Amino acid sequence: MNVLHPALTSGRTAVITGGANGIGLAVARQLLGLGMRVCIADRDEAQLQVALEQLTGDVSGYAVDVSDFSAVERFRDLVFERHGNIGFLMNNAGIGGGGGAFKRYEGWQRVLGVNLWGVIHGLQAFVQPIIDQGTPCAIVNTGSKQGITNPPGDAAYNLSKAGVRSVTESLAHELREIDGCQVTAHLLVPGFTYTGLIKKHVPEKPAAAWLPEQVAEELLLRIGAGDFYVLCPDNDVSVAMDHARLQWNSSDLIENRPALSRWHKDYAEEFATFMDGVEKSRGQI
C-alpha cells in the first residue's frame, strides 16, 4: 500500500498554480480524490473555467499572473481567508518559447517572469505563513530535465528551470534546518509529458509521452516516500537513461569538455559508446 505525505489529508487545502491544464490539473484531480480542498490559479481565465467544469469536489479557481508579485500576494491572502490551513503548495505555472542566448529578449523576459519569478513569488508569499501554521505541508516546484542537462534550443527556458532546481534545493535545506518544521520541499522533474504546451504543436499524444495523470501519480507516490527529487521517466526514456545523461552532463565540467558536449559533433561517437556501456552494465536503459 502506498504511503501518502502526512499533509495530504481530507479537509486541508491545496494550492496549485498553472492548475488549469496539464500536470497541474491532473494533480488537482488526484488531491480532490483525497478529499482536499483545491485552489487552482491560472492566468488563462477561459481555460480556468473549463478546468473548473471538469473537476468534482471542493475546488475554486483564481485568475492570477504569477509573474506579478502583488497578484500572488493577493491570491495568498484570499486563500488563507477563505480556506485556511494549507497542506500542499505547487508552484507549477510554466510557459515555453523564450529564446537563444543572445536572441529574443522579450521571450526571455516573459519566460523568466513566469517560470522562475513565478516560483520565487510563490515561495516569498506562501512559505513563511505555511511554516507558521505548525502543521505538515508539502511544497512542490515544477522543474524540467532541460534545467539539468541544458539542451541546445531554448536557453531562456533552460535557465528558468535550472533556477527552479537551485531555489528548491535551497528551500529544502532551509526548511530542514528549522527546528520542529513539518514542511517539506520537493522538485518535480517530469519526463516527456503530453501537456498543453505540447498539444499546441502535436495534436495527438506521441507514444513516447506520459500522460499528466501518470506524472501526478508518480509525484504523490514519491513525496509520500520522502523523495526530494521526483525524476520521472516516460515511455521512451528510462530512469537509467536519465541517470546516464545526467552523469555525462556533469562530467563536462569535471573533464573540461566543450560545453554541452553531448550535442557536439566531435563527441557524438564517445557519447554513444558511453550510453552503450551503461546499457550493458545495467541491463536496460
Condensed to tens digits (0 to 9), the pLDDT of residues 134-158 reads 999 999 999 999 999 999 999 999 9
Burial state string for 50-77 with b = 16 or more CB within 10 A and e = fewer than 16: ebeeebeeebbbbebbbbbbebbeebbe
Angstrom distance (rounded) from CA 43 to CA 190: 22
Tell me: do 284 and 228 sit in the same domain.
no
CA-based nearest residue to 86, from 133, 24, 155, 32:
133
Tell me: do 70 and 149 sit in the same domain.
yes
Q: Choosing from 105, 157, 194, 267, which is the catalytic residue?
A: 157
Tell me: do 134 and 199 sit in the same domain.
yes
Provide the 3-class DSSP secondary structure of residue 187: strand
Query: 3 lies in a domain?
Result: no
Query: Do residues 90 and 17 touch, judged by C-beta distance below 8 A?
Result: yes
Catalytic annotation on 105? no
Query: Do residues 217 and 116 touch, judged by C-beta distance below 8 A?
Result: no
Tell me: do 46 and 126 sit in the same domain.
yes
Query: 1 lies in a domain?
Result: no
Query: 167 lies in a domain?
Result: yes
Q: Residues near 190 by Cβ (< 8 Å), separated by ≥ 6?
A: 23, 142, 144, 145, 210, 215, 232
Tell me: do 60 and 165 sit in the same domain.
yes
User: Can you give the residue range of the structural domain that contains 244?
Assistant: 238-285
Q: Residue 21 pLDDT more than 70? A: yes
Tell me: do 81 and 170 sit in the same domain.
yes
Angstrom distance (rounded) from CA 283 to CA 285: 7
Tell me: do 212 and 244 sit in the same domain.
no
Tell me: do 126 and 261 sit in the same domain.
no
Query: 2 lies in a domain?
Result: no
Query: Do residues 195 and 212 touch, judged by C-beta distance below 8 A?
Result: yes
Q: In DSSP terms, which residues pair with 97 in a beta bridge?
A: none
pLDDT one-digit tens code per residue, 95-139:
999 999 999 999 999 999 999 999 999 999 999 999 999 999 999
Dihedral sign for Cα atoms in the order 68, 72, 77, 78: positive
Tell me: do 226 and 251 sit in the same domain.
no
Number of domains in the chain: 2
CB-hemisphere CA count at 13 Å for 30? 22
Angstrom distance (rounded) from CA 28 to CA 31: 5
Q: Where is pLDDT greater, at 277 or 233?
A: 233
Tell me: do 25 and 54 sit in the same domain.
yes
Give the percent of the chain with pLDDT over 70.
Answer: 97
Angstrom distance (rounded) from CA 255 to CA 246: 14
Q: In DSSP terms, which residues pair with 63 in a beta bridge?
A: 42
- pLDDT for the residue 196: 75
Q: In DSSP terms, which residues pair with 141 in a beta bridge?
A: 91, 187
Tell me: do 189 and 265 sit in the same domain.
no
- pLDDT for the residue 1: 52
Tell me: do 210 and 251 sit in the same domain.
no
Angstrom distance (rounded) from CA 68 to CA 17: 13
Residue with cell 523523495: 227
